[in-house]
Amino acid sequence: MTEHEKVVLITGASSGIGEATARRLAADGHRVFLGARRTDRLETLAHHITSGGGTAAFQRLDVTSTEDMRSFVAAAREEYGRVDVLVNNAGVMPLSPLEALRVDEWDRMLDVNVRGVLHGIAAALPVMKAQGTGHIVNVASVGAYEVVPTAAVYCATKFAVRAISEGLRQETAGGIRVSVISPGVTESELPDSITDPAAREAMKAYRAVALPAAAVADTIAFAVSRPPEVDVNELVVRPAASAQ
């Protein structure tokens, strides 16, 4: 259990890395505020945390909406009095070759993976600046460092998350901490969004070796738990048995 309890907001908390992070940080003694579109899952998760002695609350959240994100941050502040950490975790990954021209899916990735992060920053940063302290954790991917076939747009969104994070780090140095967590292949529901048949089949082999979501949650917990004078900027975590 931590001696320095924080209020942690987590987007995309209904499954995968977001859910695992909520469980881990709540177990560490932090108060978590959960956001996602699937409120039934959020309710179940919050109940699990609180019945185990932790502190959790939730609100429906669509990160593509600026108003939703502002309301989410305001609700967390009303519930707990402050906002110490925002984990921008929500993401989608409908992979396909560019020649498939799945423009709607490209737009969806840009809306969730890039604009969702920007909306989180826009909502939380003024609160953190007023407090004089805060920590923004952006979940990227190994796709932020390399590009592979069918993943051009997805990787572009994750490159963007790295760039945005680095700019934010430089602009807020000394007050707001900024961390980028880039997982390799991780057990999650992300592949469920792949509609292209060839990309879906290729992903089965690519994901044969995967990290448990809890391993990424542990990495996020490490960054969050550092003392105020330590800013963990980038962490890449991969399955040990994978070259990807």
CB atoms within 10 A of CB 243: 7
Query: Which candidate in 80, 145, 154, 206 is catalytic?
Result: 154
Active site residue 154: yes
Q: In which residue are the tokens 């969050």 written?
A: 224
Burial class (CB in 10 A: 0-12, 13-18, 19+), 202: middle
Q: Is the dihedral of CA 112, 114, 119, 120 positive or negative?
A: positive
Q: What are the Cα distances from residue 236, in Å, to 55, 84, 135?
A: 29, 23, 18
CA distance 196 to 236: 28
CA distance 111 to 123: 16
Give the DSSP letter of residue 211: B
Q: Helices in the chain by DSSP H: which ranges? A: 16-27, 39-51, 66-80, 103-109, 116-131, 152-171, 197-206, 213-225
Catalytic residue numbers, as ranges: 154
